Structure 1
Amino acid sequence: MDDVSTRMGPGPEFCDLPCELQLLVLSYLSHGELVLVARVSKALRRIAYDPCLWRTVTVREDMDDRWLQDALDRLSQLEALTLRGSPLVPAWAAHAARFPRLRLLDVGFSLDVNGAALSHFVESCPLLSHLNVEGCKGVDDAAVEALCPLAGLLSVNMSHCCQVTDDGLLALARGCPRLVLLNADGISRITDRAVCGLAEHLGPRLVCLELDGEQLTDASFGALRRCSHLETLSVSYAENLTDASLASIKELRTLRRLKLRRGPQLTARGLGSLFRGGSLGRLISLELDSLALDDQALALLVKGLPASPRYSPSPGAGTSRKAGTGHQSSTTARTLRAW
């Protein structure tokens, strides 16, 4: 019997394939593998370094400033850049004009992230819509204000940027009217003034909001009732919140995920009534950490849970020994988990 490959004839060489197919094949390779392919021949180098294969870049430790200089020509279509924990942000910022299509920038926990570095990206990358600067010690109000020219900015993660104050958040709320996601957790200097301003300027647009509640009062949550499309709300260290805040949260009809941490003034009765009257009917995730839950409140929560949510009290949430059991109603199966 003839060999099958012989009967079919020789297959096409890779370099004989249309350019579109060559790019499709190489798109399954990592950037490290593309660099190896580029060493085989000039023809393969041209294909492996085609800018369309380098639209998303995650900078590793071995990709130093020299690597950046060599790579600039193939980064003209760069859309997503991740530089987490990197000392090279200023070097990349200096070449930001080479990345006019950049939409996502993640420089979380990197060094030398400040107003000057961010300004380079803002001025050169007008399409930038998603920014992560979490844990960057150099981010202050001036750095946040530098973002305001980005009219298309949709999401900002500035978690634990501890130098940011109300002024920075208010500038962001006024300057970036399309913002839908804001993570300002771990910023203990935020007060009601900032949250009320966020609700005033961004209320109908906000979908996800994460806050440090150390200095917030019930006034903040009264203002958040303007956030008519809010789906995720997370508040840590809610030291000053009372059951009045819970009443405001119950009016957030679109809420899907709720996390409350450390609320010593929130009562078991108030927590137990979260779902009373059909409130929070769209909730799919509830996390209560270090709150005053007792057996009665827990029973009320389980009774009122929307269909098939994930309820997640932490080990410090004051749950009883029954917290790991499931509850079955006559119409809907509901799951209760303890963390």
Structure 2
Amino acid sequence: MFSGNKSIAEYVRDIRRTSQAAKGAYSGDYTSSFRITRLPEKLILRIFSFLTHTELCTIARVCKQWRRLAYDEELWQSLKLRPEMGGLSVPTVEDFLNLINQRSGEGLRYLEISSDLITIPVLEELGNKCTNLRYLTLDFSNAMQLHDFNELMAFPGSLSYLCICLSDVIFMEGLMRKIYTSLSSLEVLHLIGTFEMAAEEEEEIYEVINISKIRAHTPNLRVINLFGISFVDDSHVELLATNCLQLECIALNYCLNVKGATFPMLISNCKKLKTLLLCHCSLEDQYIMSVPWEDSTICELDISSTELSSECLEYFLSRIPGFAYLAAAHTDFFNDTVLKHLVDANKFQELKALDLSFCPALTEAAVVSFLSIHGKNLKGLMLNGNPVLAEYFWTTVIPFLPNIQICVLGSPDGWFFKYNTRVHVDQILHAFAQNCPNLTALEIQWDQDTLRFSDKSRKFIDKLRYALFGHFPVCMRAHSIGLLGR
């Protein structure tokens, strides 16, 4: 497919060097025989699709052919215009309108914009001309006031995905009442709160967006994410359960006022619900134990950082039909008894991903026993933060993980756990290289004072380079490895 036996990654690298040279930023020896004129334009467009829009704007200065191809409408169907998130910077509304008209046109399908660009002319332009727009992100997180939208006459009406990043000081009703009627096609809705930016003590909590009206206009909603919204509580879960009957996923992570009181109605009404994410919610035993979990279709569950008792965990988890994904990280009462009870009840037959990081009540023997039975099916595993799971444990269980793709291990604060011996990481990495051919990402969190490398580390690094990155028939897919303590 590629002339000169080059991969597409090598072509992208050469193009980036060329663009750096055009800016005078690249001063290294560059002797590549790469000739862009030898490639068909269809292939050049494919290569350009791997570049960011900032890089496309730079390489457009190289020659007329590159300028024409870099500004091809096909490469501008997805626009990320949030500079603080690594997107392209568009300083004015006029510049944005020109960008839409000259680059994207009707082909625009994906757009992220910040509050400075969320104005009547922009939204009306999107509604009237960008008829293929399906994915839209409106970021108000850093805004201090909302524009006046009383005269808004158009809004994209074929969206399947909408993400709104909220602000604690902006009431969204001025905009929302103008766009409710355009939300009937929505299947995925993300409302991102300000939990990560909130102070420890808030004076007052305001309901800055009306979830009741949203659920009344989104009958086709399949996925809703209410991450970190301070005012969301059980009453809002009840509202969703009464109208959004097609829901397959509800994410309530970091909604601190959700206790689970209305979950029985949620399970009863939303028969298609498969995914329930409750990380850092204030779940209470009495409510969770009263839910008819055996009647649900839930197979993906996150109860990380909750304070449910071991009795509650054992009782309600064993009533869920089965798990494809389970996260119980930072759960003090998830112990050997709970794990064994779930294994004996055959709840892990379809398990693909598991997160039991920072579960201090789990012992090495219990985890080894579990992985010896179900490890062969796992594609994702997180067991970091448990000091008893050290070198011997990992060299023992890695052969049980032939299909693992993502793995996180180690404890970042060795001084706190008072390790008596150092962890010989060479042996662990060698075991991954020999037993896990599908590994794509590996993160090792032991700190520098805990990690120990072999006296033959140089030889080992050479072996690792060959094993993980392409010259050895193992771990051919690895693209990320992190040694946080090195």
TM-score by length of 1: 0.76
Of 62-71 and 288-297, deviating more is 62-71
Of residues 128, 137, 151, the one that matches 2:230 is 137
Deviations 1:148-171, CA, capped at 9 Å, x for gaps: 121101111111111111203333
Matching residue of 2:190: 106
The answer for the alignment partner of 1:35 in structure 2 is 97
Q: 1:215 to 1:64 in 2, by over 3 A?
A: same
**Cα deviation digits, residues 214-261 of structure 1 (max 9, x gap):** 223154245434544522111122211221222244431111111113
Which whole-Å CA distance do the structure 2 matches of 1:27 and 1:123 have between them?
34
Aligned to 1:4: none
Alpha-carbon offset, residue 51 of structure 1 = 5.5
| Mapped contact 1:100–1:124 kept (Cα < 8 A) | yes
**Match 2:380 to one of 281, 285, 294:** 285
CA contact 1:235–1:260 (8 Å) conserved in 2: yes
Indicate which of 349, 368, 371 corresponds to 1:275. 371
Distance 1:196 1:306 in 2: 39
Is it true that 1:244 corresponds to 2:293 in the alignment? no
1:73 to 154, 164, 171: 154
- 2:360 equivalent to 1:264: yes
The answer to whether the 8 Å contact 1:162/1:187 transfers is: yes
The 2-side partners of 1:243 and 1:306 are apart by: 24
In the alignment, residue 338 of structure 1 is paired with which amino acid?
A: I
Label 1:38 to 1:198 Cα distance change in 2 as closer, same or farther (>3 A). same
RCO higher in structure (CA 8 A, sep ≥6) = 1
Residues 102-159 of structure 1: CA deviation (Å, up to 9, x unaligned): 2222111158457x71110111121122111110000011111110121101111111
Equivalent position of 2:134 in the other structure: 55
Contact 2:276 2:301 in 1 (8 A): yes
SS at match of 1:77: coil
Percent identity, aligned pairs only, is 16
Specify whether residues 135 and 337 from structure 1 end up closer, same or farther in structure 2 by C-alpha distance, changes over 3 A only. Answer: closer
Cα pair 1:141 1:164 within 8 Å, conserved: yes
Does residue 312 of the first structure (1) align with residue 408 of the second (2)?
A: yes
Secondary structure of 2:444's match?
A: coil
Distance 1:275 1:172, change over 3 A: same
Which of 313, 324, 328 is the equivalent residue of 1:231?
A: 324
For 1:153 and 1:233, locate their aligned partners in 2 and report how far apart those are by CA, in whole Å.
19
Residues 171 and 327 (structure 1), Cα distance of their counterparts in 2 relative to 1, 3 Å cut: farther
Instruction: Output one character per residue of 1:289-309: Cα deviation in whole Å (capped at 9) or x when no partner.
Output: 322324443343224223344
Post-superposition offset of 1:178? 1.1
Matched ranges for 1:191-230 at <5 A: 191=285, 193-194=287-288, 197=291, 199-202=293-296, 205-211=297-303, 212-221=305-314, 223-228=316-321, 230=323
Correspondence for 1:255 among 332, 348, 351: 351
Match of 1:181 among 246, 270, 275: 275
Question: Is the CA contact (8 Å cut-off) linking 1:272 and 1:298 kept in structure 2?
Answer: no
Following the alignment from structure 1 to structure 2, what is the Cα–Cα distance between the partners of residues 47 and 237?
47
Q: Which amino acid letter does the alignment assign opposite residue 258 of structure 2?
A: V
Which amino acid in the other structure matches residue 35 of structure 1? L
Query: Is contact 1:50-1:74 (8 Å) kept?
Result: no
Between the aligned partners of 2:265 and 2:256, the Cα distance in structure 1 is 16
1:23-70 deviation per Cα after TM superposition (whole angstroms, max 9, x unaligned) = x87972749776336789xx9999862362443321134797547556
Q: 2:425 and 2:284 mapped to 1: Cα distance?
A: 34
Partners of 2:276 and 2:302 within 8 A in 1: yes
**Which residue in the other structure is 1:172 paired with?**
266
> How far off its partner does 1:190 sit?
3.6
Q: Is the 8 A contact 1:272 1:296 kept in 2?
A: no
CA contact (8 A) 1:108 1:136 kept: yes
| TM-score with structure 2 setting the length | 0.55
Distance in 2 separating the partners of 1:89 and 1:217: 41
Is the 8 Å Cα contact of residues 272 and 301 (structure 1) preserved in structure 2? yes
Whether the aligned pair in 1 keeps the contact of 2:391 and 2:423 (CA below 8 Å) is no
Inter-partner Cα distance in structure 1 for 2:369 and 2:75: 56
Structure 2: gaps spanning 5 or more residues? 1-72, 82-92, 107-120, 195-204, 446-486
- Is the deviation greater in 169-178 or in 156-165? 169-178
Q: How many residues align?
A: 310
Q: Secondary structure at the match of 1:273?
A: helix
